[in-house]
Amino acid sequence: MRRLPLLVLAAPVLLPALAGCTATSFSYISKTYVGLPSQVVTIGCKEPYEVYDNRQERRMLVVSNGLRELTGCNLNDLRIDPDPAASRVGRFRTAARAYLDETVREECAITGETDFDALKSEFAYSCSAPVEKRGTKVPRLPGRRPGLLSQ
């Protein structure tokens, strides 16, 4: 049996995520968050969001998945929110705040937000503590891939 290239297998997951990206935002996201491991924060009705935290620049990228954004918070209950877009901004902000709290940075404040598309938002934050040196051990959440393949 011939093996399929990884890109072919990943296409059904990657294409919807990249569909809303412009070349500029894709380039910026790639440059700012390349090599950073994802961490998962869960909010509300057990909705997981992946977070990529660039601690040196004090910016984080919060990523959702397409199915949840279409159905809203009630995905687990198999009900459809009448307007999931109305609560989208609040859910992404809640995920960003929860991430800071769960990584022991309760004193940090979210200072800005950039909406890249329906699945990705970036949050700038400021903290009174100085930026950690590269390689410093910091509190981390368990990393996992949310969605159908999560364990």
What's the CA dihedral at 37, 42, 43, 45 to 10 degrees?
140
Sheet holding 109-117, edge to edge: 39-43, 47-54, 59-63, 120-126, 109-117
Determine the Cα–Cα distance for residues 58 and 131; give it in Å rounded to an integer: 8
Q: What is the amino acid identity at position 142?
A: P
Prediction pTM value: 0.69
Chain center to CA of 11: 19
Report the percent of the chain where pLDDT is more than 70: 65
Give the model's confidence band at 44: pLDDT under 50 very low, under 70 low, under 90 confident, else very high. Answer: confident
> Average pLDDT of 64-84?
59
CA distance to 28, 54, 93, per residue, from 114 (Å): 12, 15, 11
Rg (CA), the chain: 16
Task: Tell which wins on pLDDT, 29 or 67.
Answer: 29
